[in-house]
Amino acid sequence: MVRAVEPHFPRALRAPGAPRGFALEFEEPLPLACGRNLSPFTIAYQTYGELNRARSNAVLVCHALSGDQFVAGKHPMTGRTGWWEAMIGSGKPIDTERYFVLCPNVIGGCMGSTGPADTNPATGKPYALNFPVVTIADMMRAEALLLDVLGIEKLLCVTGGSMGGMQVLQWAAAYPDRVASAMPIATAARHTAQNIALHEIGRQAIMADGNWRGGRYLEKNVRPERGLAIARMVGHISYLSEEALARKFGRSLQHRNALSFAFEPDFQVESYLHHQGTTFAERFDANSYLYITRAMDYFDLAADHGGDLKNAFRKVTARFLVVSFTSDWLFPTSENRAIAEALREAGAKVEFHEIVSHRGHDAFLLDEPQLFSQVRNFLGSVAAQQGIA
């Protein structure tokens, strides 16, 4: 039993006129890697463009840690544009005149898909830490059910960057017959020790916040915003390269011609981090941050396939475009190249491109003409092969 429901957002909408997208509630339990089931569960999603009659022009876009289903256009909660506005839309590399773009919010998230802020039917209170620890594979299992309901048997393409790229790899490995092409960008087939360490600092900052209350902050009507802001600051440093920070801020001072000899932000880079942290804490759920970072840390596609990544791709028939950026130290070229090599060894068709950029991991979200042209050409070629007008 599946029914359409109103998407539920965690905070007041700043752009109430913007499209709110869709949500489906599934009664059937979702089996999870931890051994538990999630029931009921909801997947919120947004779509762009139109599904053709053959239902063959669907592009599944997978969002990153702090992203959501609103990839383009005005975001209903923040009033700003979507996170992949430069990539998706009419005439853009993923052209919504030609393709039907579908982006679901991940299970564990906080923009309408079931997560730790939602009500636990067993208690009538928010799940908080009673929410099961979910994995990337769990998220993709839920999304496969969504595609079933939407009648999409096979995706033209699945794409995403960062954690979105992990989902792409998981999707291609778990549902090889359901995807004609895949574009994992700035990602890895497993989270490294350094990345786990960075996430753990964010989680510790959230859990150390006095307002976290063992995760039950919603019941107490408080929010661990300071801890969540610190977690986001750690993230931001890892998303930018040293060079990007140097170019953007250097040692420039904020609102002052001299040092303050105090502990308020003196440097622009400090003010930038504070701003990023504060605005994120206003729109994101702290427990969701714990769950989604844990899902990324747990991701290890090779370990799930006998310790050899190429085994994960044995049944792959999809064509792949793998992209990395030179200054990305969170998901460096070496990790992306390892994906491309494993795919090749498994017999898949794969293009690999390393794009020169000083912008670090964030490059995949920014105006990167080389990325745009590669995505446009790859997708166009796949679409032509699949007979899509």
Residue 235 tokens read as 């993230």
Binding to a copy of itself in span 198-237, by CB under 8 A = 198, 200-201, 203-205, 207-210, 226-227, 229-230, 233-234, 236-237
Binding mask 254-283 for a copy of itself (x = CB under 8 A): -----x-xxx-xxx-xx--xx--x------
Distance from C-alpha of 282 to C-alpha of 232, rounded to nearest angstrom:
11
Considering the complex, state which of residue 180 and residue 269 has its C-beta at the smaller distance from a copy of itself: 269
Considering the complex, state which of residue 35 and residue 387 has its C-beta at the smaller distance from a copy of itself: 35
225-239 and 286-298 helices cross at what angle (nearest 10)? 40
Question: Do the beta carbons of residue 343 and residue 320 sit within 8 Å?
Answer: yes
Binding mask 21-60 for a copy of itself (x = CB under 8 A): ------------xxx-------------------------
Whether 162 sits among the annotated catalytic residues: the reply is yes
CA dihedral 188, 142, 234, 10 (to 10 degrees): 160
Active-site residue, selected from the candidate residues 56, 66, 113, 162? 162
Question: Do the beta carbons of residue 74 and residue 15 sit within 8 Å?
Answer: yes
For residue 196, the minimal CB distance to a copy of itself (Å) is: 5
State the Cα angle at 376 between 175 and 340, rounded to 5°: 50
Considering the complex, state which of residue 93 and residue 235 has its C-beta at the smaller distance from a copy of itself: 235
For residue 135, the minimal CB distance to a copy of itself (Å) is: 9
Kindly report the length of the chain.
Answer: 389
State the number of binding residues for a copy of itself (CB under 8 A): 59
Considering the complex, state which of residue 17 and residue 263 has its C-beta at the smaller distance from a copy of itself: 263
The reply on whether position 196 binds a copy of itself by CB under 8 A is yes
Active-site residue, selected from the candidate residues 288, 328, 357, 362? 328
Whether 353 sits among the annotated catalytic residues: the reply is no
Considering the complex, state which of residue 25 and residue 243 has its C-beta at the smaller distance from a copy of itself: 243
Long-range contacts of 210-215 (CB under 8 A, 24+ apart): 212/286, 214/128, 214/129, 215/116, 215/128, 215/129, 215/287, 215/290
Whether 373 sits among the annotated catalytic residues: the reply is no
Q: CA dist 199 to 39, 144, 212, 333, Å?
A: 28, 27, 17, 20
The binding site for a copy of itself (CB under 8 A) comprises: 33-35, 129, 132-133, 190-194, 196-198, 200-201, 203-205, 207-210, 226-227, 229-230, 233-234, 236-237, 240, 242, 245-246, 248-251, 259, 261-263, 265-267, 269-270, 273-274, 277, 290, 294, 297-298, 300, 303, 329, 332
